Amino acid sequence: MALLQISEPGMSAAPHQHKLAVGIDLGTTNSLVATVRSGLSNVINDEHGHALLPSVVHYVEDGNIDVGFSAQKQQNLDPHNTIVSVKRFMGRGLKDLDVSQLPYRFTETSGMVQIETRAGIKTPVEISAEILKVLKTRAENTLGGELVGAVITVPAYFDDAQRQATKDAARLAGINVLRLLNEPTAAAVAYGLDNASEGIYVIYDLGGGTFDISILKLSKGVFEVLATNGDSALGGDDFDHRIFCWILESAKLTPRNAHDTRLLLSKAREAKEWLTEHAEANISCLLSDGEFVNLTLTTAEFIAFTENLVQKTLSPTRKAMRDAGLTVEEINGVVMVGGATRMPQVRKTVAEYFKQTLLTNLDPDKVVALGAAIQANILAGNKSDEDLLLLDVIPLSLGLETYGGLTERVIHRNSTLPVARAQEFTTYKDGQTAMSIHVVQGERELVSDCRSLARFELRGIPPMVAGAARIRVTFTVDADGLLSVSARETSTNVEAHIAVKPSYGLSEDEITNMLKASFNSAEADKKARMLAEARVAAGAILEAVAMALSTDSALISVEEKQAIEAEMQRLALLKETQDDDAIHKAVEALNHATEAFAAARMNASVSRALAGKNLQDINL
């Protein structure tokens, strides 16, 4: 009989527990959730056995919010209040979108778009959060417990605003984001591990609304992205739209109301899917004014009027190949991802470009979620046979606005993450104590041709004569691909205060208000939630430090160890009280007490990896 394992009093036994973590593919058309169980990555189905959740949100008359298939059925009946393909609006302004064909009521705003629904004005972040909530509930009901976190996938070509919007949506849905993972990289994980592949692979990912191309080098469990490119507004939806325009033209229809537009778009999508395995598709429906549409679309016609959409994917493909410094002969395999890669003309064009048979043996709809689940399982700390490391890149260069509206590039596209770059600025006037920095993303010379990310206002610069201050601004892009900025006056070592104004994002205040609103405003609820969050944070750090001490306490003196243990004990006691503020402070204190220990551990592990190479001289 196996002996029971009992942990030390006060110490959690959690390290041996399987932690519930999922991978979520938040798609333009469909979303999925997957998890690793008994070593295998599986998609979690809903109670009817459906893996896909249509990314459709319906604000119902009775005040409920419907998501998925039932919401999809409402898109023709209640188009103003049924939002489809919301992913296209994430981190985007009105002028970025062609809203003329969309049935929604957009409100006038300079920042991220907002849609007027019967439930009030909604941002794409809130609408996406509704989809994420359904997936979270599905996962927790199936797995029988609370999730420790999720890996959420985003198109590789998503810019900072789109990534931040995705992370904010997860926060609103009450999901702890372990990592934002690029969709093609997630697909590579699912594919690479399945096939034990080594070499250079291309992931061609044409989804519902986005196109990504990533080139990866796979070697001994390390997935290194060499280059990525794409088009964050090109996908299967555009093929539907071409068919929709063809219907209007062929049936000589005048512009339609929202209901008919939705109906015809649904018919267009059905026809597209039908044509994957048939030579022609019948399109017939009854419009609201009694007019009957009955048309036949042949594969040849469909290929002809979508040809330039397929060609449009090759331009980013060529750019990525050139950035990676590769020729098609050096590519070991091309993986097809995304439902839109089922279209035969897409497969044919890609196969011809790369001069090889494409890899299509994994379900293109599921492969991203499956890969995300594998990564989530590892990041959550579950022991796994697969020791993999993903080295991803920033898809678009980051720059600053300089004189004359020109862009000064600070971080180049395809730099491996995390990456940081410092830039020095000085003052223009005597006694100047503030300055403004405009950060943009894109490859063009003119600021007006790039995407505005945010304006940073630096305050608290010590007053000096013009040109004397040395303000060192550090731009850091983390492993999620998200930018943060810090600034310091180097001659006086004064930290400058930074106020961030995101151009197409939500401010911290707006998020907080949305979160508060979602607590249903009851003060007690709010308090309970804050306390629960503080306790989770306390539990996590206690566990992390206990683990570290159990393996590496030899790296520190007995006194240092005792000091850490004293803080642990203090926190463990406070954790059982109702005082969330005190718990947070004790977490900070424990963090502080472990600084030297953490540095010693990092040095030791890197030294071990390099076999004897000593890193004492890295001043971290």
Partner 1 sequence: MSFTPALNVDLNLNYFELFGLSPSFNIDLATLESNFRKIQSESHPDRFVSATSTEKLQSMQLATLANEAYQNLKNPANRAKYLLELQGIEAISETNTAMPLDFLMQQMEWRESLEDAKGAKNINALENLLREMQQEAKLLQSEIATFIDVKQDYISATGATRKLIFIDKVVADINKAIEQLEAEL
* Site membership for partner 1, residue 417 (CB under 8 A): yes
Q: Which 60-99 positions form the footprint of partner 1 (CB under 8 A)? A: none
If one asks whether residue 594 binds partner 1 (CB under 8 A), the answer comes out as yes
- Alpha-carbon dihedral angle through residues 418, 515, 53, 71, given to the nearest 10 degrees: -140
355 tagged catalytic: no
Q: Show the site string, 330-369: x = touches partner 1 by CB under 8 A, - = not.
A: ----------------------------------------
- Does 506 bind partner 1 (CB under 8 A)? Our answer is no
Number of residues binding to partner 1, judged by CB under 8 A: 73
Q: Which is nearer to partner 1, 52 or 378 (CB)?
A: 378
Amino acid at 296: T
Closest to partner 1 by CB, 285 vs 544, is 544
- Which residue among 541, 556, 572, 583 contacts partner 1 (CB under 8 A)? 541
The 8-class DSSP code of residue 174 comes to T
Restricting to residues 475-504, name those near partner 1 by CB under 8 A: 476, 478-479, 482-488, 495, 498, 500, 502
Stretch 295-324 residues interacting with partner 1 (CB under 8 A) = 315, 318-319, 322
CA distances (Å), 453 to each of 334, 396, 442, in order? Answer: 33, 12, 10
Give CA separation, 29 vs 153, 207, 266, 497, in Å.
14, 8, 12, 41
Q: Pairing relation of β-strands 82-84 and 115-117? A: unpaired
**DSSP secondary structure, 271-316, as one string:** HHHHHTTSSEEEEEEE-TTS-EEEEEEEHHHHHHHHHHHHHHTHHH
Q: Which of residues 3-42 bind partner 1 (CB under 8 A)?
A: none
- Which residues, 6+ apart, have CB-to-CB distance to 286 below 8 Å? 292, 293
Decide the pairing of beta strands 222-231 and 389-391.
Answer: parallel
- The residue assigned the tokens 């410092």 is 422
Q: Does 544 bind partner 1 (CB under 8 A)?
A: yes
Task: Based on the shown chain and the rule CB under 8 A, indicate whether residue 462 belongs to the binding site for partner 1.
Answer: no
Residue 423 or 476: which CB sits closer to partner 1? 476
Piece of 97-105, 128-136, 190-198, 410-418 that binds partner 1 (CB under 8 A): 410-418
The least CB distance from residue 39 to partner 1, in Å, is 20
Instruction: Please list every residue from 423 through 442 that binds partner 1, using CB under 8 A.
Output: 439
For the bound state, the minimum distance from the C-beta of residue 451 to partner 1, rounded and expressed in Å, comes to 13
3-class state of residue 67 by DSSP: strand
CA–CA separation, 230 and 412 (whole Å): 16
Q: Please, which residue, 375 or 427, has the CB nearer to partner 1?
A: 375
Q: Which stretch binds partner 1 (CB under 8 A): 36-44, 103-111, 183-191, 588-596?
A: 588-596
Q: Which residues pair with 393 in a beta bridge?
A: 416
In the complex, least distance from residue 23 CB atom to partner 1, rounded to whole angstroms: 14
The secondary structure of the chain in percent helix, strand, coil, rounded to multiples of 5, reads 40, 25, 35
Positive or negative, the Cα torsion across 240, 96, 181, 518?
Answer: negative
To the query of whether residue 25 is one of the catalytic residues in this protein, the response is yes
Q: How many CB atoms lie within 10 A of CB 294?
A: 10
> Which of 505, 546, 549, 567 contacts partner 1 by CB under 8 A?
505
CB of 218 to partner 1, least distance (A): 12
DSSP for 486-515?
A: EEEETTTTEEPEEEEEESSS--HHHHHHHH
- The residue within the footprint of partner 1, chosen from 116, 140, 273, 543 (CB under 8 A), is 543
Between CA 302 and CA 272 the distance in angstroms is 8
| Residues 137-166 within binding reach of partner 1 (CB under 8 A) | 149, 160, 164
183, 240, 365, 489: the active-site residue? 183
The yes-or-no answer on residue 383 being catalytic is no
Distance of CA 480 to the CA centre of its chain: 7
> Between residues 245 and 540, which has the closer beta carbon with respect to partner 1?
540
Q: Of 46, 78, 87, 392, which residue is the catalytic one?
A: 87
The structure tokens 């990533």 sit at 214
Question: In angstroms, what is the minimal distance from the CB of 93 to partner 1?
Answer: 16
Q: Which is nearer to partner 1, 51 or 485 (CB)?
A: 485
Q: Nearest distance from residue 419's CB to partner 1, in Å? A: 6
The Cβ-side half-sphere exposure at 235, using a 13 Å CA radius, reads 23
Structure tokens at 48: 């009817």
- Least separation in angstroms between residue 282's CB and partner 1 is 36
Task: Give the total residue count for the chain.
Answer: 620
- As annotated, the active-site residues are 25, 87, 183, 205
